[in-house]
Structure 1
């Protein structure tokens, strides 16, 4: 027992010193490791921080209102020019200015046939031009839906592209003429457009329309289609404007007209009134000359 205690007494200092040395060594290693970690962290941080600064800068630029560039100024000036031009864009019959559409419901007659819309008139005239005896031409008078009418119009036999190109604008102009002349309400609305350009903003049609919608039309003006429907409408409008101007001028009364007879009546009444105030000199015969007078 004494030997064991003596042995333990000898071992404890050794173990204690070893333990202290281990603790010191561990602390040293830990400190060195922390230093290593920190040094590596700081060495890799600059790229990350630069990226973060770049991202924060881009976010600030996004929030900051951008000053208009030269191209933006040019775009604004182009838009202002379109506003100055003040064109009227139309397409579907139920949209704004839809009364200008071929599909707009408006009954009129050409003296022989009755039509429910200008599209029906155009396609029936097309059928009469190429196949007057065709059942399709007859069916065009019995169909009032513009979409069905358009489909039937594509089925007309004996179609000749060159002939149609020559006649189509005159046909559509005449249909628009009948449409607006036979409706005082539509006539007034057409005249209210004054001298503004009428444009069918159909993105699907570059012949009767321009091939662009109303939003893209001002920026694509150099790429517009023919706009034949708009031109036909402007032709009819000009005719109506000239008629309205001639009617507003007070013409001279025609001989035999009611105004002429009323004017004659007033003139005779004025003559009678003057005669009452100043009676005419009666016939007193021939007065003797001074040489014939006896003193």
Structure 2
């Protein structure tokens, strides 16, 4: 079985980076994982002034639009670090919010797939041939939490 997720208001919507589950990272509270992720694109760049703007916008959609603005150059190592940035934020989200952590753990070993019709990197794309990196990050976080949880309960 496979669990497909995408929209916040659909089943497993809490797996979306747009879900209203804030994270505390780098000394700040971020409204969503999407806010944090988009802001990290500009760390150490001439465009760093956009970081507090992304931090302050009201919705993850606004954060995404600012971060995806191709007129702003992203940090030179972005392609090398973007998965680890995402993983850090997703892990923090599920460590912080025990209610959605329980939902994630309850998926067992089921394949998790971001059912984005347009994103072939983070999701599966319209034809299901995408790389599904967000699903992979979630499954990795699920395993890490399960391992730590099990170790802490049985030692």
TM-score, length basis structure 2? 0.91
3-state SS of paired residue (1:105): coil
Structure number with greater CO (CA < 8 Å, separation at least 6) is: 2
TM-fit CA distance, 1:92: 0.7
User: 1:148-186 CA distances to partner (integer Å, 9 max, x unpaired)?
Assistant: 1111102373325x6222111001100101100011111
State yes or no: 1:231 paired with 2:136: yes
Larger Rg: 1
- Distance of 2:55 and 2:96 partners within structure 1: 19
SS for the counterpart of 1:106 is: coil
Shift, 1:129, TM fit: 4.7
| Structure 1 CA distance for aligned equivalents of residues 120 and 78 of structure 2 | 16
2:19 alignment partner in structure 1: 104
Question: Secondary structure, in 3 states, of the residue corresponding to 2:82?
Answer: helix
Say whether residues 1:175 and 2:89 are aligned partners. yes
State whether structure 2 residue 148 is matched by structure 1 residue 243.
Answer: yes
TM-score, normalised by the number of residues in structure 1: 0.49
Contact 2:5 2:113 in 1 (8 A): yes
Counterpart of 2:67 in structure 1 is 153
CA contact (8 A) 2:23 2:89 kept: no
| RMSD across aligned positions (CA) | 1.7
Structure 2, unmatched stretches of 5+, are: none
- State the alpha-carbon separation in 2 of the partners of residues 123 and 188 from structure 1: 26
1:111 Cα deviation after fit: 4.8
Higher helix share: 1
* 1:84-163 equivalent positions in 2, closer than 5 A: 86-131=1-46, 133-134=48-49, 136-155=50-69, 157-159=72-74, 163=77
Structure 1 counterpart of 2:101: 187
Shift in Å at residue 204 of structure 1?
0.8
Deviations 1:98-140 (A, max 9, x none): 0000100012201511111110010111122534632x22201
CA offsets, 1:15-63, max 9 Å, x none?
xxxxxxxxxxxxxxxxxxxxxxxxxxxxxxxxxxxxxxxxxxxxxxxxx
Structure 1 unmatched ranges of 5 or more: 1-85, 218-223, 252-295
